[in-house]
Amino acid sequence: MTTLKSESVDIAGPTDVVILRQKVRAWSIELKFSLVDQTKMITASSELARNTLDHGGGGRCLMEMVSNGARSGLRLTFEDHGPGIPDIDLALKDGYSTGNGMGLGLSGSKRLVNEFQIASKVGEGTRICVVRWK
């Protein structure tokens, strides 16, 4: 996989979630994603950024425009140094929430992208990488 362009976005407050959404929209348009695929990626980025802020205490998102042969796509990697996720399988179940939400953030985000990877260590933080291909 080749990275064509990258940018790091800090996630320290609600305004940063909005800024990230706007950047994801612009990059999705630049990649010529359909309106449906733009919306899927924007929604996933918003959910994951909100989780980074609310559960991870803030962090960052590395945005990368990538290509893999004939395909191009958008890869987003969210990292925080929060408490981590003790049970990833449970956290990925629909309806599971540690907050006041509906419990669809992680599982919903996973369904909106083509690739989803999560790694978390209790006491150290969480890293989630998602890719949407054109």
pLDDT score at 103: 46
Rounded alpha-carbon distances, angstroms, from residue 119 to 43, 112, 125: 21, 18, 9
Asked whether 3 and 65 are in contact (CB, 8 A), the reply is yes
> Rg of the chain over CA atoms, in angstroms?
14
Amino acid at 10: D
| pLDDT tens string 39-84 | 999 999 999 999 999 999 999 999 999 999 889 999 999 999 999 9
Report whether pLDDT(99) > 90.
Answer: no
Rounded distance between C-alpha atoms, residue 17 and residue 123, angstroms: 24
The alpha carbon dihedral of 20, 24, 27, 29 has a sign of: negative
pTM of the model: 0.93
Mean pLDDT over the full length of the chain: 92
Phi-psi region of 123 (alpha: psi -120 to 50; beta: other; left: phi over 0): left
What domains can you pick out in the chain, each with its CATH number? 2-133 (3.30.565.10)
